[in-house]
Structure 1
Amino acid sequence: MLLLLSYGLEVASLQLPEHGSNTKYVYASLKMEQPEKVIDFSVNINPVGAPKVLKDRWGDWFTAINDYPDPYANELMEELAAQENISVTHLLAGNGAAEIITLVARYLAGSKVAVIHPAFSEYATACRNEGCEVMEIVLAAPEWNLEASALADKLQGVKAVFLCNPNNPTGIHYNREAVENLIEVCKRTDTLCIIDEAFYDFLPEPVTYIDKVLHQQHVLIIRSLTKMYSIAGLRLGFLAGNPELLQKIGRTKPHWSVNALAMKAGVACLQDESHTGETRSFIESERTAIFQRLRQLGFEHSSSQLNFYLLKDPALSTQEKLFHYLLKQGLVLRHTENFPGIKGKWLRVAVKQSDDNKILLEALAAWKQGN
């Protein structure tokens, strides 16, 4: 495994938006006119959509907006605790995983932290905003293998390390042995091991390390409910960890940061047992068909097990031309300019509904014919 290390690395100043979704900003940043019809492959939420129960019960929840929400989100946390087989004291609700990451960064303020890349850009951004010294540990493409033993020396004196597993943007899932070895290495180096599991429930056979927080004081698990349940507009996530550590992290959390409708929706989503199973089956079927066609066309893709994947035309050193070509067709993929280690060399693509996936594959076929 190749490890590229840098300290205090600043992401180059970008015109492009730092996250997916909101396609108008992509076109505006490139001074391109947005086509009348756009398919957004840059946002990696559930293509199946939100559980039907949300629409059915939405009107029943209207009166919840008349009062302040529960600042501790107890009903939601009790539902989560029951499903995860841990106590409520091991959980902290948040206004999406983004708020959770910000709270953790505030707790780490001024410290030396590490991020294992490729990874969600918000870890490094939030930590730098809090005056942290950020060490980027970049795994070698295209396998991005995690070898914890090689990190032991690097993590000496590091207060926390972020690992995105399953990984955004590659879609790969690090094996259990590698992750457990990292947890043990962090124990020896007195490093807080922060595992972002925002996409764990998209795996064909979901794997979580949330049980580690019951016995390990140096492990934190970040979760998002917005991805699987397609409720990104509501913002809902949580942090699992040692109760004393959560109390310290939660000190800077705004009162009532999670709104009442998000709590109601969260409970209803968690109780809908069929939604996740149907989602996994659909995505696995679509992803298999997409990958088969991409290989036929001569494209490379990451070995994703999730609802998104990395894509590249191996004939290009960077994917800028392909990115712009697809934008002109109204197909918006996620650039990777702010992902250390893969910067511009790949594009991230969400698995969408079948018709949308076919439109993208047809556009990619046309690209190959013209180049």
Structure 2
Amino acid sequence: MIKGHGDDIYDFPDIRINFSSNVIPSGLNSALKEYLCLQMKCIERYPEPLGESLASRIEDVKQLPVGSAMVTNGAVEAFYLIAELFQGRKSLIFYPSFSEYEDACRKSNHKIESLHHTKFEETDYSETDLVWICNPNNPDGRIYDKEKLLIQIVANPSVIFVVDEAYSDFLNTDISLETCLTGYKNLIIVKSLTKNFAIPGLRLGYLLANPFIIDRLQKQVMPWRINALALEAGRFCFSNLNLDKTEISKHIKESLRLQNEIKGIDGFNVVASLTTFFLVETPVLAADLKEQLAHDCGILIRDASNFKGLSDSCFRISVQSHEENNQLIEVLKEWS
């Protein structure tokens, strides 16, 4: 998705408040910022070719077998690598969801089938090679039940289930399949460090899978894809995984308040979400509302009309501070 994604703040010169990006609302952690400033000398030398020591650190923290983790240039690189590994296969994608799954599959000549998410439990997967799941789902925050996911993974051992857990930290409940990984050879979990540590510009993610799959993926990639500063950020993150946990509940509570406030404004309908982002439907074109809010108010929202299955009146909001959320509420009330 080269065009039409969130956080396109560079297209608008005077944005004051950015509701379009799903990173943690509290922004860059001050301790991480201080740490990275002290590590700047690392950019004077080449990084590890594959980020090996960070992958090893991830395996230790997650208590996974050696060779179960692979560091990636953001979660998006993981999707393209997986699609390339299974080039020409048949992929099933439930919509609405992140369009990069489809883009990656199309690039690697997959036969793509799209189904509405309500079909997940009743679908026959016997003719499918890969299933792509986002949990919690982008853009609507929908949650796939952990046990129901495992039922399908167990029942379809010849199907690879790619589960994108980029936003799994943005919930008050644990829905991750990480602890189940070693029991299932047909499970690939994709994770992101850019969302919960607010470092999307560093492009840092990782995937977890059976060592046989990891080995095959490693053979596809070029060396030095992960820059030295990103690797240092990863080392910090995996030494401070609980650093921002206390913030999450606060942001979720604020998200629920914001959803309720917008739902009460004439002409707006909110798709309920238990995480820090959610969908809103309006009676006008989301693209027009986005342009107006950006140029007149310095407020950026995510036009969600390019997600398969959504209308051109849908936009996505990622909660910000209490004060900034109140500004959005007032602007939408005036607009309404």
Same fold (TM over 0.5): yes
Report what 2:123 is aligned to. 151
Q: Is structure 2 residue 250 aligned with structure 1 residue 282?
A: yes
Contact 1:159 1:192 in 2 (8 A): yes
- After TM superposition, the structure 1 = structure 2 runs for residues 55-66 of structure 1, keeping only pairs within 5 Å, are 55-66=33-44
Contact 2:136 2:142 in 1 (8 A): yes
Contact 2:190 2:206 in 1 (8 A): yes
Report what 1:31 is aligned to. none
Once the two structures are TM-superposed, the CA of residue 273 in structure 1 deviates from its matched residue by 4.4
SS in 2 for 1:239: strand
Q: Is structure 2 residue 145 aligned with structure 1 residue 175?
A: yes
Contact 1:138 1:340 in 2 (8 A): no
Report what 2:45 is aligned to. 67
Cα distance in 1 for residues equivalent to 2:72 and 2:10 = 28
In structure 2, what residue type is equivalent to 1:19?
A: H
Report what 1:48 is aligned to. 26
Cα distance in 2 for residues equivalent to 1:193 and 1:274 = 28
- Of 175-184 and 318-327, more deviation after overlay is shown by 318-327
Decide whether aligned partners of structure 1 residues 210 and 350 sit closer, same or farther in structure 2, where only a CA change above 3 A counts: same
Report what 1:5 is aligned to. none
Contact 1:202 1:276 in 2 (8 A): no
Contact 1:115 1:134 in 2 (8 A): yes
Percent identical residues: 28
SS in 1 for 2:83: helix
SS in 1 for 2:289: helix
**TM-score (norm: length of structure 1):** 0.84
In structure 2, what residue type is equivalent to 1:307?
A: T
SS in 1 for 2:194: coil
Report what 2:308 is aligned to. 340
Contact 2:15 2:294 in 1 (8 A): no
Contact 1:236 1:262 in 2 (8 A): yes
In structure 1, what residue type is equivalent to 2:246?
A: E
Cα distance in 2 for residues equivalent to 1:128 and 1:240 = 23
Report what 2:130 is aligned to. 160
Once the two structures are TM-superposed, the CA of residue 54 in structure 1 deviates from its matched residue by 1.8
Q: Is structure 2 residue 270 aligned with structure 1 residue 301?
A: yes
Report what 1:322 is aligned to. 289
Decide whether aligned partners of structure 1 residues 251 and 321 sit closer, same or farther in structure 2, where only a CA change above 3 A counts: same
Cα distance in 1 for residues equivalent to 2:191 and 2:241 = 18
SS in 1 for 2:59: helix
Report what 1:142 is aligned to. none
Once the two structures are TM-superposed, the CA of residue 35 in structure 1 deviates from its matched residue by 6.0
Cα distance in 1 for residues equivalent to 2:13 and 2:327 = 15
Contact 1:311 1:346 in 2 (8 A): yes
Once the two structures are TM-superposed, the CA of residue 65 in structure 1 deviates from its matched residue by 1.5
Quote the RMSD (CA, aligned, Å).
2.0
Cα distance in 1 for residues equivalent to 2:15 and 2:166 = 30
Cα distance in 2 for residues equivalent to 1:367 and 1:226 = 33
Cα distance in 1 for residues equivalent to 2:91 and 2:242 = 39
In structure 2, what residue type is equivalent to 1:219?
A: L
Cα distance in 1 for residues equivalent to 2:187 and 2:313 = 32
Q: Is structure 2 residue 58 aligned with structure 1 residue 80?
A: yes
Q: Is structure 2 residue 178 aligned with structure 1 residue 210?
A: yes
Once the two structures are TM-superposed, the CA of residue 320 in structure 1 deviates from its matched residue by 4.2
Question: Can you list the C-alpha shifts for 1:296-347, whole angstroms capped at 9, x where unaligned?
Answer: 224322221222110113xx27534433432333222111232111142421
SS in 1 for 2:91: strand
In structure 1, what residue type is equivalent to 2:56?
A: E
Report what 2:220 is aligned to. 252
Decide whether aligned partners of structure 1 residues 118 and 185 sit closer, same or farther in structure 2, where only a CA change above 3 A counts: farther
Q: Is structure 2 residue 132 aligned with structure 1 residue 132?
A: no
Decide whether aligned partners of structure 1 residues 35 and 69 sit closer, same or farther in structure 2, where only a CA change above 3 A counts: closer
Once the two structures are TM-superposed, the CA of residue 278 in structure 1 deviates from its matched residue by 2.4
Report what 2:279 is aligned to. 310
Cα distance in 2 for residues equivalent to 1:35 and 1:238 = 33
SS in 2 for 1:157: coil
Contact 1:158 1:191 in 2 (8 A): yes
Question: Can you list the C-alpha shifts for 1:123-170, whole angstroms capped at 9, x where unaligned?
Answer: 10011011111111123xxxxx4642x112xx2222101000111101
Cα distance in 2 for residues equivalent to 1:57 and 1:331 = 31
In structure 2, what residue type is equivalent to 1:300?
A: N
Report what 2:187 is aligned to. 219
Cα distance in 2 for residues equivalent to 1:319 and 1:66 = 45
How many pairs were matched up?
A: 334
Q: Is structure 2 residue 93 aligned with structure 1 residue 121?
A: no
Decide whether aligned partners of structure 1 residues 366 and 180 sit closer, same or farther in structure 2, where only a CA change above 3 A counts: same
SS in 1 for 2:327: helix
* Gap runs ≥5 in structure 1: 1-10, 26-33, 140-144
* Gap runs ≥5 in structure 2: none
